[in-house]
Copies of this chain bind each other. A is one copy, B any other.
Amino acid sequence: MRIHNMRRVVIVFVVGTALATVTAGQTAKPAPATGGNGTILDDLVVANRILANENILDGLGHVSVRSLQRPDHFFLSRDLAPGLVTAADLVEYDLDGNPVNPKAPQGYRERYLHAAIYKTRPDVNSVVHSHMPSVLPFTDVTMPLRPMYHMAAFLLPGVPVFEVRSVQGQVGMLIDNNKVGAALAQTLGKNTVALLRGHGVAIVGVSVPDAVSSAIFTDVNARAQMQAVALGGNIHYLTQADMAPPTPNQQPAAQPGTAGYYPRSWGIWKAKAMGEKR
Whole-angstrom CA separation of A134 from B271 in the bound complex? 24
Contact indicator B52/A268 (Cβ below 8 Å): yes
Q: CA of A96 to CA of B266 in the docked complex: distance in angstroms?
A: 29
Known: A84-B10, A200-B149, A269-B59. A233 touches B142 (CB 8 A): yes
Among A133, A165, A197, max chain B CB count under 10 A is at A133
Complex contacts, A83 vs chain B, CB 8 Å: 268, 271-272, 278
Within 8 Å CB of A140, what residues of B? 148-149, 224, 228, 235-237
- Establish whether residues A242 and B198, one from each chain, have CB atoms under 8 Å apart when the complex forms: yes
Among the listed B80, B142, B150, B267, which residue makes an inter-chain contact with A173, where contact means beta carbons less than 8 Å apart?
B150
| Distance in angstroms between the alpha carbons of A69 and B259 in the assembled complex | 42
Question: Is A123 interfacial (CB-CB < 8 Å)?
Answer: no
Q: Is the CB of B137 within 8 A of A174?
A: no
Give the one of A10, A223, A227, A228 with max B CB within 10 A: A227
A3 to B264, CA, bound (A): 27
Are B268 and A81 in contact, CB atoms less than 8 angstroms apart? yes
User: Across the interface, do B236 and A141 meet the contact criterion of CB distance under 8 Å?
Assistant: yes
A190 lies within 8 A of chain B by Cβ: no
Cα A134 to Cα B228 with chains together (Å)? 10
The answer to whether A149 and B143 have CB atoms under 8 Å apart is: no
B-contacting residues, A121-152, CB 8 Å? 131, 133-134, 136-143, 147-151
Establish whether residues B174 and A149, one from each chain, have CB atoms under 8 Å apart when the complex forms.
Answer: no
Task: Find out whether the CB atom of A148 lies under 8 angstroms from the CB atom of B174.
Answer: no
How far is A81 from B3 in the complex, measured between Cα atoms in Å? Answer: 18
7 pairs, CB–CB < 8 Å, chain A vs chain B: A2-B2, A7-B88, A83-B271, A140-B235, A172-B243, A197-B236, A198-B237
Starting from the known contacts A137-B148, A142-B233, A176-B253, 18 additional A-B residue pairs (CB-CB under 8 Å) come to A59-B262, A59-B266, A80-B264, A84-B271, A131-B220, A136-B149, A136-B224, A136-B228, A140-B235, A149-B198, A149-B200, A150-B172, A153-B173, A172-B253, A173-B254, A174-B252, A198-B237, A226-B231
